[in-house]
Amino acid sequence: ALLPALLLLLLLLPLAALAAAALLLGLPGYDIPPGVNQPAKLRLVLTVLLGTAALGRILEKTGLCSQITFGRYVRQGRKLGLDPKLFIQDLQFNEVPVRVYQPKATSDGPRRGILFFHGGGWVFGSLDTYEKVCRYLSRESDSVVVSVQYRLAPEHKYPAAYEDCLSATQHFLQHLERFGVDPARVAVCGDSAGGNLAAAVSQSLAGSSDLPRLRAQILIYPGLQALDFNLPSYHQNRGVPLLFRERAAFFALLYLNGDALHMQEVLEGSHIPPDMRLKYGKWVSPDNIPEEFKVRGVKPLRPTDFIAEVYETVKRFCEPNLCPLLAEDSVVHQLPESFILTCEYDVLRDDGLLYKKRLEDNGVPVTWYHLEDGFHGIISLYDYCGFSFPSGKRGLDRVVNFLKSL
């Protein structure tokens, strides 16, 4: 169905561009802050996103393909040609598709190993989407990178993506010698939803005695909780692309249940019982956000009535494999050295800041890098069709520098 969809895309592209422009002018909810990196280019990215969404809705209504299918097609990227510096092969680890990047240059000894889990809200993204990012990480850090193609929502609900990432990681840890990887230097890495998966996998393996211990976890603007969508960053950046506040809740619900029912109640906070909110308040609270991140304003939390029926549909949000920020201290203190990247103009900024505090409170060494002019998804745009941003490259290089230190 994608062929006729593409023909329709060509016919409707000018209309979509006009529709997107109208949306930009008519909806003040979309916000490009003046401090963001290259605001004019980000506005262009937003126009493309809105145009794609508009076309997706048209195609779905005409029955040609679903909006999600079209969105995946537009974002899927393509597998690149041969790389003179890398040996690249597509394999399966425990029936999970992976793409392995190995430097061709000779090495004095075993290399680092990196498990990479892509972002995309657990709904979008593929091995091809992150080709350039993974190639860059492998080349620049002289590491073996394993990019994991986990199953996507809504077709495959939680815990499918987590189980695939854990299974692929376990397989890799059992066969490191085959890839010339040092068992003492294996890290998990991911951005956005991939950062969520990397954190969950790291927690699951923290107490394992029959596999090599992970050397590090690298979390790039990770989403780590779904209890409170009213933290300061969720309101300060609610209309900033590439991730809006409502979309953050939408993706979490799609991953959890395969649908986005009760999204408004989740955004308002009606989905968590008062006793549970009190229990997790010591970890998920604006009080734990440094004051310098509140200068752009903090929206007072309005009391909301708890709705038991909603909680019954989303109670697995309290599982650490889905929301790693809620793991007990007994797990957190076993975690490996960590790198966390946050962006100022990102709804998920405070998730990363809260996890940074939890790790530090439990004695885990943390390297934190904050892109003051960055926004959510900036790393994934690296060398992407002219849409890359200098600060995204800067963040990616900080990841490389951290890897080299291991």
Q: Which of 182, 228, 346, 373 is catalytic?
A: 346
Q: Which of 228, 376, 380, 388 is catalytic?
A: 376
SS3 labels along the chain: CHHHHHHHHHHHHHHHHHHHHHHHHHCCCCCCCCCCCCHHHHHHHHHHHHHHHHHHHHHHHHCCCCHHHHHHHHHCCCCCCCCCCEEEEEEEECCEEEEEEEECCCCCCCEEEEEEECCCCCCCCCCCCCHHHHHHHHHHHCEEEEEECCCCCCCCCCCHHHHHHHHHHHHHHHCHHHHCEEEEEEEEEEECHHHHHHHHHHHHHCCCCCCCCCCEEEEECCCCCCCCCCCHHHHHCCCCCCCCHHHHHHHHHHHHHCCCCCHHHHHHCCCCCHHHHHHHCCCCCHHHCCHHHCCCCCCCCCCCCCCHHHHHHHHHHHCCCCCHHHCCHHHHCCCCEEEEEEEEECCCHHHHHHHHHHHHHCCCCEEEEEEEEEECCCCCCCCCCCCCCHHHHHHHHHHHHHHHCC
Active site residue 346: yes
Give the Cα separation of 345 and 59 in Å (integer). Answer: 32
Q: Which of 192, 202, 233, 380 is catalytic?
A: 192
Going by C-alpha positions, the residue among 16, 42, 18 that lies closest to residue 30 is 42
Active site residue 192: yes
Active site residue 305: no
Active-site positions read: 192, 346, 376
